[in-house]
Every structure is written in structure tokens, then in C-alpha cells.
Amino acid sequence: MELDSLLVLIGSGLIQALGSVLVKYATLPGQAESASRSWFFLEVGLAMILFTAGGLLFARGLARLRLSVAQPVFSATVFLAVTLGSVLLFHEQLSPFQLAGMATIIGGIGAKVREAEKRLEQHMVQQDMAVADLEKRVKALKDAVRLLGTGSRPA
């Protein structure tokens, strides 16, 4: 698994979460009905740009990762960032069940990443073995060509 692809997915999730928080801010009571209605459209428009940018980054992350790894990382990032934003900016309260759910999500994502790392390590070992086998075969072919060139026969 490529760390840069995971970071792209996390960045994508954070951008999507920022867009969600911005939409929530724009629609707060009194905010959307204020005399400055143009700010509402500016905030929502900016949120749409953030959603688009986040989607493009998500697509980039998918180019190198399996969907079964990418989607949970992305979704968990959005969920956790939006929850944190709602607590810090809008003073929303979290129940013990929500906190337990967040801990479960974090643990599940960690397990998924560890599993993917283990599979990648196994794949790399298999590639190393295949390369070593090919090197042996190339050496044997070179030896055979050298023997044929001298007119000798192998023993």
C-alpha cells in the first residue's frame, strides 16, 4: 500500500468534511436569512468547489489502491472530521454510543490498513523470489551460450 495514496485519501476526506461544515455554517439560523444573502451563496459555492476538489483527490487515491481499502479510509476520515468540526464549531454534544462508534471505526480502519500492509509485504516477498529465480535462469542461459560459443559440451 502506498502511503502517499493513503494521505491523498485522507486529504480528500478532510476537504469533503470542510465542505460539509461550510454548508452547515451557511445554513445556520440567522446566517442564511441575514441581509447579506450573497455570503450564503458564496459559502455554498465554496463548499461545492471543495466537494469537487475532494472528489478529484479521491479518484486520484483510487488509482493506486483497492476500493475496499480506499472507501473505508475516505468515509472514516469524513465522518471523524465532520464530527470533530460539529463539536468544536457548533458545540454539538456526543453521546457515549457515538464515542464508542468512533473508536470502533478508528480500530476497524487500523485493522484494514494493517491487513493491506501484510498483503503488500507478502506480495513483495513473492516478487523478490521471482526475481531471484529469473536471475538464476539468466545465468544458466549465459553459461549455456558461453559453452556453445567455445564448442564445449556441458558435463
Tens digits of residue pLDDT in 34-46: 556 677 788 889 9
The x, y and z cell numbers of residue 106, run together, are 478508528
Q: List, as one string, the DSSP characters of 71-101.
A: HHHHHHHHHHHHHHHHHHHH-----HHHHHH
d(CA 103, CA 89): 21
Quick: pLDDT tens for 115-145: 777 877 888 888 888 888 899 999 999 888 8
Q: CA 147 to CA 149: how far, in whole Å?
A: 5
